[in-house]
Structure 1
Amino acid sequence: MDTPAAQALVDRPSEQPGWSELHPDDELIDVAFVPDGSRLRLVRNGSEYVILLDHHELMSTDVVASEQELARVTCERLGAVPGLQMLIGGYGMGFTLRAALAALGQDAEVTVAEIVPKIVEWARGPMRDFTAGCLDDPRVQLVEEDVGMLIAAARGGYDAILLDVDNGPEGLTRRVNDWLYSASGLEAARTALRPGGILAIWSATPDDRFTGLLARSGFEVNVVAVEAREGVRGNEEAWKHALILARKAVTNGG
């Protein structure tokens, strides 16, 4: 099955041509590489951390509101579900996971799929103050696995699947993540959900083509615009991200 690449990152020397320069106040903490050669860098600037994918900012501890809302809104719409089963892919900087744990009951189980070992190392190491022990919560199972593989293997086991992979359906490393957002990937996600379950997808921008595909795949779709950074005011669209919420109808089979 053509799921996203399930290979771990490997370390490479940090001196390579064609890499963008860091800002003068940036401190390079660590480097890792994906199998296609794309590079991840963990960078610290004062008290804030950024993970760069080549020269793109992939995530930051300074812009986290929409990642938190991904979990909060999903849990709010699910309501009280005894023994709720949630899958999160991937860990990132952990803001979605921590928001989910804050909203869920003690009988919930949250599986976090993160194929990048370095991301977990950074969470437990230089970013441990942000991690705040969430990976050691007894409700959490951390799996070093491709989230697509877990989705493909599941059969009606999840109440919620939260995807914050790449930059959403139109991401930065689409060769790796295309399957998640394809018709076959969405069918697998629908099969993996219990009736009434929600597939929640973080996206940098709204995507009419993708929401149409979700609807054709049998989901009830709703898109919520949320602030990227807490406290931003006005009509700055650059600070808006999209949460794409797709519910599996209770009456649907499979």
Structure 2
Amino acid sequence: MPISYDIPEVLDRREGPHGEVVLRRHGELLQIIANGCFLMDTSDGRSERLLMDVALDALGGRPEPGVLIGGLGVGFSLAHAAADPRWGRITVVERETAVIDWHRHGPLSALSAPALADPRTEILEMDLVAYVNETSNTYDALCLDIDNGPDWTVTEGNDGLYSASGLASCVRVLRPGGVLAVWSAQPSPEFEGSLRNAGFQGVRTEEVPVARGVPDVVHLGVRPG
């Protein structure tokens, strides 16, 4: 009997200002690929939920905190935030029209439809780095998941977010006592040092064990009050 291999099915492929983005179905999983680089799939979501939980816990019971989520992805972070009534305004910045479409009208709506219908939710279609550098809005928490981590950026230019000037912009848009939480596919001691150099307090790294061995992590820092 011939061996049957499970070949991913391309559901949509788009060319945008930042290159190619692809939505695939691989068995029961949905996957997002950007310029040939695997970004994420719907297999787990524990670390994305941790991203939201550690930020909220670090705020210490602040009433109805506003959160900026950097990157819509497959929707785990948004869905988890919207399922928690303690969050106030939930703003998501996503630069890829295709990703937003897949959530509003495509297969990813199965994960995000209730969150998108939540009156607290706002989706902004724009580049996160530009938004953080330019906005006059402020937030109680910034939960960022736009790369595979500070040491493994997906798109040229994103590394500026993790630089001294990028972290200074994050400080500027955080309210006093606000929290910066950054998802990463691997721990980065260097980034912990960058957070401290930028003036963040209580810097720590939370790990989520994964099957491949190297844990997903969330880097966390608090703006001084």
TM-score, normalising length: structure 1:
0.80
Is the CA contact (8 Å cut-off) linking 2:70 and 2:143 kept in structure 1? yes
- The aligned counterpart of 1:43 is 24
In the other structure, the counterpart of 2:131 is 150
Letter paired with 2:192: T
Q: Shift of residue 244 of structure 1?
A: 0.2
Contact 1:75 1:103 (8 Å CA) reproduced: no
Between the aligned partners of 1:36 and 1:117, the Cα distance in structure 2 is 11
Match of 1:71 among 47, 52, 59: 52
Q: Does 1:237 align with 2:213?
A: yes
- The match for 2:160 is 179
- Cα 1:104–1:173 change in 2 (3 A) is same
Establish whether residue 216 from structure 1 lines up as the match of residue 197 from structure 2: yes
Deviation at 1:148, TM superposition (A): 2.1
The Cα shift of 1:73 comes to 1.6
**CA distance in 2 between partners of 1:110 and 1:36 (Å):** 25
State yes or no: 1:247 paired with 2:225: no
1:31 to 4, 13, 31: 13
Equivalent-residue separation in structure 1 for 2:137 and 2:112 (angstroms): 30
Alignment partners' CA distance in 1, 2:11 and 2:86: 36
Match of 1:53 in 2: 34
Q: CA 1:138 to 1:191, structure 2 compared with 1: closer, same or farther past 3 Å?
A: same
Residues of 1 paired with 2:48 and 2:8: CA distance?
A: 24
Quick one: which of 92, 104, 108 aligns to 1:112? 92
Q: Is the 8 A contact 1:203 1:241 kept in 2?
A: yes
Q: Quote the offset at 1:98 in angstroms.
A: 1.2
- Please state how far the C-alpha of 1:47 moved relative to its aligned partner: 2.3
One-letter amino acid of the structure 1 residue matched with residue 81 of structure 2: A
Paired-residue identity, %: 36
In 1, Cα distance between the equivalents of 2:194 and 2:118? 36
Aligned pair in 2 of structure 1 residues 76, 163: CA closer, same or farther (>3 Å)? same
CA contact (8 A) 1:156 1:191 kept: no
Q: Which residue of 2 aligns with 1:7?
A: none
Give, in angstroms, the shift of residue 179 of structure 1. Answer: 1.5
Residue 121 of structure 1 is matched in structure 2 by 101
Contact 1:75 1:100 in 2 (8 A): no
Instruction: Report what 1:94 is aligned to.
Output: 75
| 1:149-175 superposed Cα distances (whole Å, 9 cap, x missing partner) | 332234572100010011111224241
Mapped contact 1:205–1:242 kept (Cα < 8 A): yes
Secondary structure of the 2:47 match is: helix
| Pairwise CA distance, 1:54 | 3.5
Deviations 1:176-216 (A, max 9, x none): 30111111010010011111100100011111112111111
**1:70, 1:36 → 2: CA distance?**
25
**Unpaired stretches in structure 2, ≥5 consecutive residues:** none
Q: Cα offset for 1:24? A: 4.2
Shift in Å, 1:34: 4.2
Corresponding residue pairs, total: 219
RMSD: 1.9
Q: Which moved more, 1:173-182 or 1:89-98?
A: 173-182
Alpha-carbon distance in structure 1 between the residues aligned to 2:132 and 2:34: 25
- Following TM superposition, the consecutive aligned residue runs of length 4 or more in structure 1 with deviations greater than 4 angstroms are none
1:227 aligns with 2:209: yes
2:204 & 2:137 partners in 1: Cα distance?
Answer: 21
